[in-house]
Amino acid sequence: MASIEFSPLIAGTMKWGTWGKNYNTAQMQTIINCCIENNITSFDHADIYGDYSTEAAFGAAYNQMNIGRSAVQFISKCGIQLLGGVRKNKIKHYDYSNEYIIKSAEQSLANLHTDYLDLFLLHRPSPLMHTDEIAEAITKLKKDGKILSFGVSNFTSTQTALIGQQIEVEFNQLEYSITHLYPLENGIFEDMIINHITPMCWSPLGNVFTNATEHTTSIKKVITELSEKYNVPEDVILLAWILKHPAKILPVFGTADPKRIANLMKATAIDFELTDWFYLLEVGKGREVA
């Protein structure tokens, strides 16, 4: 069972660098401070973000700030080998060899100017995973104090169980939102509860605010009603809906807008009425709950 305590909402850094806002050091420091001031102390990274550059940019900003390491939690991921770019790969692929996992973790430590990662994840499943190599690498990283906890990302229940035969899996970070209900409908969350695995979810707002379709228009109508009822912004409603689930899901949000970040933790104070939760689920499914 996971022993690391993360903030109820986690700041996703994927778009802070060249894949999005392209923040400079001072701007990253502003966002880091904004998160911490609003009790969002956990930061989600991956080696590939910004074509292997965002993690180091964040680390350079953090390293100049007077923030105690115990006051924040750092998450990173490894395994994806991007096509071209910095590493000049000929084809996108995954590498979960013992050597590569350890090397990736150590590179993330250097990037973030820290001695340890609170959580280290395998970014996506590979059909060529050798569980003994993975277990050996993670065991060594834990023994050396370089990672405190281990998990996976975008793994099915079966793939997670495969890894779990040899090494404890404490977290699984999945795509989940009102417009992507797959983990809710396929027993994944129930499996995680049974096996004491904590879910994290990326893209928790789904495509509600980015795709104008008949479906998202219907969802927005319900969100607007609930936003007025609970007196919070619409994106807060979507986060609160996720937090209601008994699996104790930790949403990883992607916004880097200080004004929005300042409101997000309001989601933790909302106690959705049962019928309101199912009202939003129904419109998300596009049909009556069976």
Nearest CA-CA partner of 52 in 11, 17, 25: 17
Q: Give the pairing type, strands 93-94 and 42-44.
A: unpaired
| Residue 49: active-site member | yes
Residue 14 has a pLDDT of: 97
Question: Residue 218, exposed/middle/buried by CB under 10 A (0-12, 13-18, 19+)?
Answer: middle
Residue 264 has a pLDDT of: 97
Q: 54 near 22, Cβ under 8 Å?
A: no
Domain assignments of the chain as residue spans, ordered by start? 10-211+245-256
Which residue in the list 23, 49, 62, 96 is annotated as catalytic? 49
Tens digits of pLDDT across the chain (290 residues) = 457 899 999 999 999 999 999 999 999 999 999 999 999 999 999 999 999 999 999 999 999 999 999 999 999 999 999 997 788 898 999 999 999 999 999 999 999 999 999 999 999 999 999 999 999 999 999 999 999 999 999 999 999 999 999 999 999 999 999 999 999 999 999 999 999 999 999 999 999 999 999 999 999 999 999 999 999 999 999 999 999 999 999 999 999 999 999 999 999 999 999 999 999 999 999 998 88
Q: Tokens for 258, please give them.
A: 């200080």
Q: Which CATH class is domain 10-211+245-256?
A: alpha beta
Q: Is 157 helix (H, G, I), strand (E, B) or coil?
A: helix
From residue 30, give the alpha-carbon distance in Å to each of 33, 37, 60: 5, 10, 13
